[in-house]
Amino acid sequence: MSRIFFCSFSLLVLSVSAWEPIQLKSYPQRVRTFYSANDAAVPAAIRANAFPLPVGNITATVRASDGATWLGTTQGLVRVDFSAPERDQRQYFAGQRYLPDDHVKQLAADDSGGIWARTRNGVSHIEMKPMTLAQKAEVLEKRVRERHDRYGLVASSYFAVSGDPASNRRHDTDNDGLWTAMYAAAECFRYAVTKSPEALANARKSVEARSMLVPLHKDYDSFVGCALMLAGSG
């Protein structure tokens, strides 16, 4: 009996000697206080009208590696970044330019400020790539030449297979003359600043194509055509 008591006492002494006080940590608790709208303690900013989000029905959220918050909804994506210039603090992404469909199911951030979005019909990777205006113009210029050059005119086009650039189809509209004239003027301005031989060639090609639309008829010298359709082209 004495041995059992001695062993128990020894264990108790060892336990007491090894005991350390519990370290309590604070954790935020919700504390609510109501104020009247005109109370002096209420910040002035809270009296202003909030800038509404373009859509609601939020289905998913993620914080990107650049600190922006992305909201998935049943009507597309919203990017919120209050560190950005005011015009870019709220950005809306929808339609097949950005998503397979607008019902977002899940989001995941990448390592460069972009996000992955899963929708009902597929997955989209949206990147936020820094570009100068010159770099952006180069991308658009390449797209004009590849997809919209119709007999030298800048024409409309569409994808016969959704999302597949290889299925691009050009077609005439009554805006071909307008888009071509605007493109020619832009390339003239580009050449004036950069002296780019490519800009000069593009401007000449567009002006020559535009000249095919006038005059349409000997009795209407001032009547300018809008588009060009070759005989037998439908």
Using the 3D structure, point to which of 93, 126, 159 is the last residue of a domain.
126
Last residue of a domain, one of 59, 92, 126: 126
Q: What's residue 231's pLDDT?
A: 59
pLDDT tens sequence for the chain (234 residues): 555 545 555 555 555 556 678 889 999 999 999 999 889 999 988 888 777 888 989 999 999 999 999 999 999 999 999 999 988 999 999 998 999 999 999 999 999 999 999 999 999 999 999 999 989 999 999 999 999 999 889 999 999 988 788 999 998 888 888 899 999 999 999 999 999 999 999 999 999 988 877 765 566 555 556 666 665 554
Range of the domain at 190: 133-211
Residue 27 inside a domain? The answer is no
Asked whether residue 166 is assigned to any structural domain, the reply reads yes
How many helices (H) and strands (E) the chain has is answered by 4, 11
Total domain count, the chain? 2
144 phi, psi to nearest 5 deg: -60, -45
Whose structure tokens read 């600190």? 67
- Do residues 208 and 180 make contact, with C-beta atoms less than 8 angstroms apart? no
Task: Please indicate, yes or no, whether residues 121 and 179 belong to a single structural domain of this protein.
Answer: no
Q: Is the pTM of this model over 0.75?
A: no
With b for 16 or more beta-carbon neighbours within 10 A and e for fewer, the 12-22 pattern comes to: eeeeeeeeeee
Q: Specify the CATH number for the domain of residue 87.
A: 2.40.10
Q: Which of 128, 149, 141, 120 minimizes the C-alpha distance to 198? A: 141
